[in-house]
A and B are shown apart, each in its own frame.
Chain A
């Protein structure tokens, strides 16, 4: 067993884990954060994408011990109270989800894209989401939603995720354009 301390969606956790425990199973089975689903076992589908220390990762391909000392943001940590993240809002408004199983990963991967490229082209979005599979939508409305959210973020920025203190430089607060 290994000892880890990790901050997930603004809450600090200390746990003893098997060294082989995947981060996604730590989130789901130990912390009960089941908003992050598992869609495959070969890191192809991206359904389990979360933010680890400011970059999106497929949490099925990261060990819980690798998150030790780190900060994880999941789909469940994006909204601030009742205020959804612009991506959550645009996925809803653009009908970018049907069954919704891929949606947490899609949103987390798109959030990563928009941090690096706040004004992407449709092609940029398609390529950035290449590691996230959706079987329902054919991606057309997902692309539309990401572009709409990008425009919204350029205008107004993102709400601060839960638990991120504004006086401390944080990797999760960087998506709002200066």
Chain B
């Protein structure tokens, strides 16, 4: 036999298997699903931020032709239960009831109060207008500090406080570090509320399976497995009688990492009516009903010596929970708790986070979930410290970051970063950016009093992702683990089915898992099919969020494939009458060392195993294998992002002139897909810096309540990015891979705001709240220069 050289799949920019149906419109979005007898659900929502429900009368809606049923929250309360929060972050955390339909009181504009079920979606929507609700307005709770003040109105009056929890973390002696410091920089930052805006609105179809007592729930969700468990606990439908399917899902960004009231309502209605029901949110409804992200006030202190050595960091956070605690609402800001020190060495760190209830839409994970806030705080403050010390901000970072030869490195926050090379990523970024030339132009514009100023923003970020080692989640009081499951079925004809517990919604898992399995099994990429997102097909899984899918789920595929190969090796040795140790496995073929004519392909072994005629003693006739992988550590991608902006001081307009990102996400499975993740991630971070904010008025109405009022950036609003990578393999998994889904978002927001501040600091501007809109920039310039 001639030596077969097969190019490895991992590392190739394979175009995606997912695309064919997406570019031709052969999609299976949840809202596409029709079933015999399908009914349509519309939900009446509170128009007020906070009110007592005195009376609801749904009966007038029943008179409308085509209306099948209508219910108030009180009528369904017993069967719908309370929505779950899986993260009791402290023992004394305040955990209010969260009925899917409000019963006595509404606590945010958009809180659902009644449902109508009708034969079509137009009739259901019309019938909402027939429902009578009498409300007595209650005072809204909108301001985080005000909510904690004595005498504040309460979101949950029965709880006696708007404080949900206070969670501390301390390492080293911060007071001593501060006392020893020559310089202490203090800043307050506001992380505005953001609306995630996955392009596919949420949708749910719940269908009873005739006479078996089973239910199928189709949902536009990132987490079918978690939804199954939680819906079972919430609605009382036994877990084994509930199948959850995530069909094609059109983006999530955290907003579909949730167990939503509408899922419980749909199941409840399907059970009560014995017919399938569908609910699809309108975009404006989603702005109220789908969880928001961010929403924090951060008080930051950074203590350093005169020559720029960091001594200590203090971060005190107020985090807006919104009106209720959803699946990981309280834990989301704490995912950032370990990341405020970033890539820097220091002696002391003090962190507290206080969760606060407000009468607004609940918050929860949004791309990055806690880490963007942390990275923003440290990277913004490093620039402020550099300005205070009169040092180049890059030089200050170099002086303090973990050197490449110091890995693995345990940070002051207690994490052990397994690998990284901040020097290499930064050097590469500088080479692509033209740093020195831009600094020269910046000085020239300053000297000429050019109305258009240039600013350079730096973000040398890292993040913790790949959520998460189960024992750490346990120590943080999270209710579940962070493992992931993969199964591989070796079919008789040598084709391969991979079953993954991850649940993609745009990431390209089908393509990437095919590449991983193809390499490990030595089979062609096109011989692999990947199945996911249906608890009947993929019964075990922890789903997709927190940049976990590749580093846990993808590695689990690799591990399961290794088990298949180990079984195949046993059969091959038996058939070739050789010892297992004497077999080489390469390119899908077992060969006896020194006897190249004696070989068996993995496909031949698959058929021989299926036939079962001649197997090793005691061996089951299957090569199939599964692996549940619980990671040892988080994943720590890092990189250097450099942003140059032109700020027009006369109009306040910010234009991103160039943006360079060099990311180190370890070994790369598919460079094209990684680049796509960086593009989209950076875009969302830029959007926070410059464009987006969920705005409430003084009465608690969401003013930015439609896509016409909330600026999701369009193509002309975003720059072309220059992307590159350095590759420092992770040492925490056998593929050397790191997460990439959130890195761009985490990195880019501070890079952009630092650039804006760098442009305006010489004019006396101290800070600009995000988003840095033309109005805010113009006002800041005006105030600084008056």
A135 touches B23 (CB 8 A): no
B283 touches A135 (CB 8 A): no
Which of B18, B25, B31, B679 makes the CB contact (< 8 A) with A140? Answer: B679
- Rounded to whole angstroms, the CA-CA distance of A98 and B740 in the bound complex is 14
Which of A100, A133, A138 makes the CB contact (< 8 A) with B679? Answer: A138
Q: Mark A1-43, 1 if CB is under 8 A from B, else 0.
A: 0000000000000000010110001001100111111111110
A138 touches B680 (CB 8 A): yes
A101 touches B250 (CB 8 A): yes
Chain A residues closer than 8 Å to B673, beta-carbon distance: 95
Interface of B (DSSP majority class): loop
- Rounded to whole angstroms, the CA-CA distance of A123 and B717 in the bound complex is 11
Q: Mark A123-146, 1 if CB is under 8 A from B, else 0.
A: 101110111111111111111000
Is B676 in contact with chain A by the CB < 8 A criterion? yes
Near B by CB (< 8 A), chain A positions 105-129 give 107, 122-123, 125-127, 129
Which of A36, A123, A127, A133 makes the CB contact (< 8 A) with B199? Answer: A133
A45 touches B683 (CB 8 A): no
Q: Mark A74-104, 1 if CB is under 8 A from B, else 0.
A: 1110110000100010011101011111111
A74 touches B25 (CB 8 A): yes
**In whole Å, how far is B655's beta carbon from the nearest beta carbon of chain A?**
13
- Rounded to whole angstroms, the CA-CA distance of A9 and B198 in the bound complex is 28
- Rounded to whole angstroms, the CA-CA distance of A123 and B716 in the bound complex is 8
Is B27 in contact with chain A by the CB < 8 A criterion? yes
Using A39-B201, A75-B24 as known contacts, say yes or no to A130 and B714 having CB atoms under 8 A apart. yes
Is B407 in contact with chain A by the CB < 8 A criterion? no
Chain A minimum-CB-distance residue to B23: A88
Is A47 in contact with chain B by the CB < 8 A criterion? yes
**In whole Å, how far is A96's beta carbon from the nearest beta carbon of chain B?**
9
- Rounded to whole angstroms, the CA-CA distance of A125 and B121 in the bound complex is 36
B284 touches A97 (CB 8 A): no
Is B539 in contact with chain A by the CB < 8 A criterion? no
B31 touches A37 (CB 8 A): yes
A34 touches B27 (CB 8 A): yes
B283 touches A95 (CB 8 A): no
Task: List the count of A-B residue pairs having beta carbons below 8 Å apart.
Answer: 177
- Rounded to whole angstroms, the CA-CA distance of A136 and B714 in the bound complex is 12
Residue among A76, A104, A138, A140 facing the most chain B CB atoms (10 A cut-off):
A138
Chain A residues closer than 8 Å to B197, beta-carbon distance: 135
**In whole Å, how far is B278's beta carbon from the nearest beta carbon of chain A?**
11
Is B63 in contact with chain A by the CB < 8 A criterion? no
A41 touches B284 (CB 8 A): yes
Is B603 in contact with chain A by the CB < 8 A criterion? no
Is B122 in contact with chain A by the CB < 8 A criterion? yes
Near A by CB (< 8 A), chain B positions 706-723 give 706-708, 712, 714-716, 718, 720-721
B284 touches A104 (CB 8 A): no
- Of the listed stretches B300-308, B338-346, B504-512, B590-598, chain A binds B504-512
Binding site for A on B (CB under 8 A): 15-16, 18-20, 22-27, 29, 31-32, 34, 120-122, 197-201, 248-251, 253, 282-284, 505-508, 672-673, 675-676, 679-680, 682-684, 706-708, 712, 714-716, 718, 720-721
Which 8 A-B pairs rank lowest in CB-CB distance, beginning with the nearest? A35-B25, A100-B22, A99-B506, A101-B250, A138-B683, A98-B506, A34-B32, A40-B283
